Structure 1
């Protein structure tokens, strides 16, 4: 779940480091020059993820809907998902050149959209697998991408040949708990988090090592890794964890479950239940004012920051 211009990320193998408590900014709403505002959308369906492409911002959601942010507002560009069966879409990612939007969801749904023509290639049910897919990461450029899909069954499905039929394989990194989120920083190197409070790393795209997180007291729902020494995890109970290459540092933002996180340098955003948005700067994480109480599911940073969630909610800044 990353801006296509963002440098891809890595993570060192092995469980290491100690845990220290992060400095957390005031939980009062941060006063900034920019204000979050509500955008009108053509759907009441929950939107689960949002991505920035070479042709603007796209959001995906329940019922297989895909929305596109245009100069005149948000427009519906796909109904029913890649198969037309109405399977909900839970995760999305974009190729390194920004030309293809990949999305995954219920009943094995996997689609690849050309963001200019908005035509869709259907890669659903690889090897006849129809489990729910929670998230996707893609590396490489349009037409030759590596795809990694987080499965609700605890498996990661992957293809090193742009999702072509017969090129998919899978692995089970942990105990079989649902893989909730996946993010890759390089062609075959990245991270996943699962429903057993675990973080796993791979450097070949097919085998994974558990690298944490010891003594976690909440599930993880999002991962954003910016380098071997710069990885962010967000989850239940308002918890954010950061790896700096030597230690894990937790930050407790409050009670809201956090569902997505995106960080670059000192700047970052995390979103979650009840319409909460936390922004990060050099002073730490601070809650920002938002115009919604709807649960937020996804966020993307850029020239215009966008967060999406329940009831077709889109807020922008």
Structure 2
């Protein structure tokens, strides 16, 4: 999940609806369906698994299986694209926006990379950089539309990056670790961020090109999600319900139970992490509580808190969070 810079941050996911007060359950109790749940299931135009959700100036967008892209508007969720940037139906696993939220970047299977202008509807295909057709799992983007730094993480253990908006001939790559798959990448500055691999490692960069391992020793779980807010402010989630927080000197683990956690949005003690079986945990002041949800579907991503921003003072504060997952599932708060 990518972090944007140089914008003021407020909750602005357009069309979500008024925020509902949370009714979290302390600890890791069962997440049963309830009329008291702060979440509701939204109707969507796809049954494909949705892997990532991002706020933009045009509302929230989610990407998923078969290259589907759906958009949240005044009349609910509608389908924006089918087939991905190439039109070949390659599944999309990651998405991110430029600083002002005008351009949505998306990545996926068989080297799929797309750049979609949410204002004009223009789609640019940047697939197979350097003729690479590996599966890409996540993308981080920093800078303005048309002049962005793009970082793509995938199954090969390599990060493909371009400091010139993904133009042909501007890509390079680096292998941060041993070659283990990289499921998630996130940036807190134009060339500063973090990536996790499936070998229990977290890597940091401050130049966008060279990476240093910063942990996590003896984690003993697979990592799936990362939120990078500063060099000394990183959150990682993974298997076994584990959350790890980094303060620049050490990692502090928190065990939330047995649900595999797939994504996290966390800022200054507040946020969400989501995962298997419809699991949603809400953080307030650094304390994690299990929330009731109306679905047991596996959740893949969440946008909340610092992920939902006011772009150029035009945003409307209408909601707290949105989570996406299996079978076209969208939960809104």
Q: TM-score normalised to the size of structure 1?
A: 0.91
Partner Cα separation in structure 1 for residue 67 and residue 268 of structure 2: 34
Match of 1:26 in 2: 27
**Residue pairs, 1:228-243, within 5 angstroms:** 228-243=231-246
Q: Which residue of 1 aligns with 2:155?
A: 152
| CA displacement 1:169-221 (0-9 Å, x = unmatched) | 00111111001110011111111000111000111111111110001110111
Q: Does 2:273 align with 1:299?
A: no
Q: Please give the residue correspondences for 1:27-176 in structure 2 after superposition, counting only pairs within 5 Å.
A: 27-28=28-29, 35-176=38-179
The answer to whether the 8 A contact 2:27-2:256 is kept is no
* Conserved? CA contact 2:205–2:212, under 8 Å: yes
CA pair 119-7 structure 1, distance change in 2 beyond 3 A: closer
Question: Any conservation in 2 of the 1:7–1:226 contact (CA below 8 Å)?
Answer: no
1:7 CA drift (Å):
6.7
Shift of 1:6: 7.9
Report deviation, 1:263.
0.6
Unaligned segments of structure 1, at least 5 residues: 9-23
The counterpart of 1:274, out of the listed 261, 273, 277, is 277
Alpha-carbon distance between aligned partners in 1 of 2:293 and 2:130, rounded to the nearest angstrom: 43
CA RMSD of aligned residues (A): 2.0
What is the alpha-carbon distance in structure 2 between the residues aligned to residue 145 and residue 276 of structure 1?
Answer: 34
Partner of 1:290: 293
Deviation sequence 1:97-151 (CA, Å, 0-9, x none): 1110000000000000001122211000001100000000000000000000002
- Structure 2 CA distance for partners of 1:3 and 1:205, relative to 1, 3 Å: closer
Residues 283 and 196 from structure 1, CA distance in 2 versus in 1: closer, same or farther, beyond 3 angstroms? Answer: closer
Aligned partner of residue 161 in structure 2, secondary structure: strand
Given that 2:174 and 2:209 are in contact with CA atoms closer than 8 Å, whether structure 1 keeps it comes out as: yes
Q: What are the Cα deviations for residues 209-244 of structure 1, in whole angstroms up to 9, with x where unaligned?
A: 111000111011110011122110000110000011
2:265 aligns to what? Answer: 262
Measure the CA separation in 2 of the matches of 1:251 and 1:32: 29
Of stretches 102-111 and 298-307 in structure 1, the one that deviates more from structure 2 is 298-307
Query: C-alpha deviations, 1:229-268, integer Å up to 9, x for none?
Result: 2110000110000011222110100101100000111211
Separation (CA, whole Å) in 2 of partners of 1:194 and 1:6:
28
Q: TM-score, normalised by structure 2?
A: 0.87
Check the 8 A contact 1:2/1:262 in 2, yes or no.
Answer: no
The 8 Å contact of residues 3 and 53 in structure 1, kept in 2 or not, is answered as no
- Structure 2 CA distance for aligned equivalents of residues 25 and 42 of structure 1: 34
User: Per-residue deviation at 1:2?
Assistant: 4.3
Contact 1:7/1:185 (<8 A) preserved: no
| Rounded Cα–Cα distance in structure 2 between residues aligned with 1:55 and 1:229 | 32
| Conservation of the 8 A alpha-carbon contact between 1:4 and 1:53 | no
> Aligned equivalents of 2:273 and 2:2: distance in 1?
13
Conserved? CA contact 1:29–1:286, under 8 Å: no
- Name the SS of the counterpart of 1:63 in structure 2: helix
| Moved >4 Å (runs of 4+) | 2-8, 29-34
CA distance in 2, matches of 1:290, 1:312: 16
Question: Contact (CA 8 Å) 1:25, 1:283: kept in 2 or not?
Answer: no
Q: Name the SS of the counterpart of 1:274 in structure 2.
A: helix
Structure 1: distance between partners of 2:326 and 2:275: 11
Q: What is the CA–CA distance in structure 1 between the aligned matches of 2:180 and 2:221, rounded to whole Å?
A: 14
CA distance, structure 2, for counterparts of residue 200 and residue 249 of structure 1: 16
Distance 1:65 1:32, change over 3 A: same
